[in-house]
Amino acid sequence: MEKKTIFQINGLYRDDYRVTGYEFGQGEKSACVIGNFRGNEYQQIYTCSQLIRRLESLEKQGRIIKGKKILVIPSGNPYSINVQKRFWATDNTDINRMFPGYNLGETTQRIAEGIFDYIKDYTYGMQFTSFYMPGTFMPHVRMMKTGFEDVDLAKEFNMPYVVLRKVRPYDTTTLNYNWQIWETKAFSMYTTSTSRLDVNSANQAVNAILRFFAKQGIIQYESTGGFVSRVLEDADFVSVRTKTAGFFHCITQVGMEVEKGDLMAEVIDPYEGTVKERVTAPISGTLFFSRDTEPITYANTAVFKLVPVQE
């Protein structure tokens, strides 16, 4: 293992801004895994740390294939972690909306350019990322439909779901999109959580990546477990929205099977403690997403996403 600074900006009033990478093996740029770009993505950093620990052990055992190189970058935004801000502390911009970057632009554009220049030539790219809606997810692999996506390859992670989504205008400045345009096979990896650690989900994601590496001939690793991935598109999900605002009392858990009409949550009046609304399942299916990390909800807010029963 070789630890190196892959990008740095000199600081005027505090320590320099450094993006640290961990390289395993030597040779062609086979796979790159990157963790957080946002300051509250603690689970993403933790998952990378566990992957680094496992890869270091495999390297010592001589189980990284000769001529293959793996790069793991736990964090692309250490400053925001230090000040506990989701986005760049100075101007509230999102580094993951600045790719491929611009080395004469704003600070976040320069950071994106510096990182992307270092990682754009890898064959496979995996980013642990978070959703714009806070909550808990079923673990899955997500890909944009750029025309370069490879669904069969995504299934080789053996995660429960592979989710395809249409490209929106703002997606063209994300790492995943630009990796694909530069002909890297790119995947966004979602574990269950973001701002809290879920050890089991992190281990599941690490095992998925090691299985994938083994199947691509990058490491020697006997893969066990995993799922036969179900492929979904954004339009397949059924959103469940609240009608009123109040304290959100979630009754179900992500991964549960629900029947149409089952009680999933209650909205509680903040002052009087009475039940203002009973949120029920509109269909039978699997609970894919739950906004169970937030204590309150607002009216017309998507609090659940369901995957319909497979016909």
What is the total residue count of the chain? 311
User: How much is the pLDDT for 167?
Assistant: 92
User: How much is the pLDDT for 11?
Assistant: 75
Helix residue ranges, H only, 8-106: 42-60, 78-82
Average pLDDT of the segment spanning 149-154 = 96
Total-model pTM? 0.93
| pLDDT tens digit sequence for 251-288 | 999 999 999 999 999 999 999 999 999 999 999 999 99
> Does residue 60 have a pLDDT over 80?
yes
Per the CB < 8 A criterion, the answer to whether 24 and 64 are in contact is yes
> Does residue 14 have a pLDDT over 90?
no
Query: Residues of CATH 3.40.630.10 domain(s) within the chain?
Result: 2-232
- Quick check: helix, strand or coil at residue 131? coil
Helices and strands per DSSP (H, E), number in the chain:
6, 18
In this prediction, residue 89 has a pLDDT band, given cuts at 50, 70 and 90, of confident
User: How much is the pLDDT for 304?
Assistant: 98
Strands 246-250, 296-297: pairing kind: antiparallel
**Nearest C-alpha neighbor of 16 from the set 93, 96, 114:** 114
237-308: CATH, from 2.40.50.100, 1.10.357.10, 1.10.760.10, 3.90.220.20: 2.40.50.100
User: How much is the pLDDT for 280?
Assistant: 98
Give all strands (DSSP E) within 156-301, no chain letters.
161-165, 185-190, 230-233, 238-241, 246-250, 257-258, 263-268, 275-280, 285-290, 296-297
Query: Residues of CATH 2.40.50.100 domain(s) within the chain?
Result: 237-308
Q: Is the CATH code 3.40.630.10 the one for domain 2-232?
A: yes
Contacts of 111 (CB under 8 A, 6+ apart): 7, 9, 17, 19, 76, 77, 95, 98, 101
Separation CA 11–CA 23 (nearest Å) = 25
Average pLDDT of the segment spanning 287-304 = 95
SS3 content of the chain, % helix, strand, coil (to 5): 25, 35, 40
Q: What is the DSSP letter of 166?
A: P
In this prediction, residue 12 has a pLDDT band, given cuts at 50, 70 and 90, of low
Separation CA 206–CA 15 (nearest Å) = 31
In this prediction, residue 10 has a pLDDT band, given cuts at 50, 70 and 90, of confident
Average pLDDT, the chain: 95
Separation CA 238–CA 283 (nearest Å) = 8
User: How much is the pLDDT for 254?
Assistant: 96
Average pLDDT of the segment spanning 1-23 = 90
| pLDDT tens digit sequence for 167-193 | 998 899 999 999 999 999 999 999 999
Tokens 């809290």 sit on residue:
196
